[in-house]
Amino acid sequence: MDDSSIAALKDLEDFALPRVRKSLGEEAADRLREFILLERLVPGMAINERDLAAALGISRTPLREALQILAIEGLVEYSSTRRPRVAAPSLEEIIQNLQVMSSLEELAGKLACHNASDEQIERIQDLNEKMQRGSTSMDPLAFFRTDMNFHVLIVEASGNLPLTDTHRQYNARLWRARFLSSQRKVGRADTLQQHNEIAAAIASRDAARTSQAMSTHIASAIVNVSRQLGE
């Protein structure tokens, strides 16, 4: 690159885009997801926009932005009169979505074995070790976030953008169901062992083994959710 090109690039630095920050509505959506996970907003509950906006310390405009985000994710739904409420999917709907998620994560695992960089595989191993160490000491929400980050990293390591986008949509829709699954103490040891198997299979870049491990893991989640919601 010649001196004139370098100078031209330096001139462009003045026009560099600022780091994107979350809008107030996006931040509110993050809080509302937590409220739904922790059942401060329970399935089927009508949402009073004025009261909720006051509780969050924001106006109704960013709250409505947050509710629209959650509606796209399937966590909030609107009645025929446009009144929002917390979504209350049936167990059958949740299981069907988990079955789709199983196929997505099986494919992601296979592709990750072929496409993941060594750095990505190392990050997957690190997150698994963090879950193993923190299984009894981490608070439920922190453990769940680490668990979901583990799965998201695997999908991103697949290198397939359409798959990543589709997985993101289904993961948002299943956010509460997967949280319930992660909270069952019965079977927690099995879940951690499944994570170990997934991490080991990816580290060895064994696509068939990884696919089977992902399938077993989601099948376990279906059992956990069915029992949790059936109690």
Residue with tokens 């990543």: 164
Q: What is the pLDDT, as a whole number, of residue 16? A: 47
Q: Is the pLDDT of residue 70 over 90?
A: yes
What CA–CA distances, in Å, run from 168 to 32, 89, 173?
Answer: 18, 18, 9
Q: What is the mean pLDDT of residues 58-66?
A: 95
Q: What is the pLDDT, as a whole number, of residue 123? A: 96
Q: What is the mean pLDDT of the chain?
A: 88
Between CA 195 and CA 214 the distance in angstroms is 9
Asked if 68 contacts 33 with a C-beta cutoff of 8 angstroms, the reply is: no
- Which of 10, 15, 5, 82 has its CA nearest to residue 46? 82
pLDDT band, very low/low/confident/very high, at 200 (cuts 50, 70, 90): very high
Q: What six digits make up the tokens of 221?
A: 């989640």
Q: What is the mean pLDDT of residues 88-103?
A: 93
What is the set of domains in the chain, with CATH numbers?
Answer: 22-86 (1.10.10.10), 91-230 (1.20.120.530)
Asked if 110 contacts 201 with a C-beta cutoff of 8 angstroms, the reply is: no
Between CA 29 and CA 203 the distance in angstroms is 35
Q: Is the pLDDT of residue 66 over 60?
A: yes
Q: Is the pLDDT of residue 204 over 70?
A: yes
pLDDT more than 70, % of the chain: 89
Asked if 216 contacts 190 with a C-beta cutoff of 8 angstroms, the reply is: no
Q: What is the mean pLDDT of residues 146-173?
A: 94
Q: What is the mean pLDDT of residues 38-43?
A: 89
Q: What is the mean pLDDT of residues 80-96?
A: 92
Q: What six digits make up the tokens of 63?
A: 């709250």
Q: What is the pLDDT, as a whole number, of residue 22? A: 82
Q: Is the pLDDT of residue 9 over 50?
A: no
pLDDT band, very low/low/confident/very high, at 3 (cuts 50, 70, 90): low
pLDDT band, very low/low/confident/very high, at 185 (cuts 50, 70, 90): low
pLDDT band, very low/low/confident/very high, at 137 (cuts 50, 70, 90): confident
Q: What is the pLDDT, as a whole number, of residue 196? A: 96
Q: Is the pLDDT of residue 160 over 50?
A: yes
Q: What is the mean pLDDT of residues 2-26?
A: 59
Query: Helix (H, G, I), strand (E, B), or coil: what is residue 163?
Result: helix
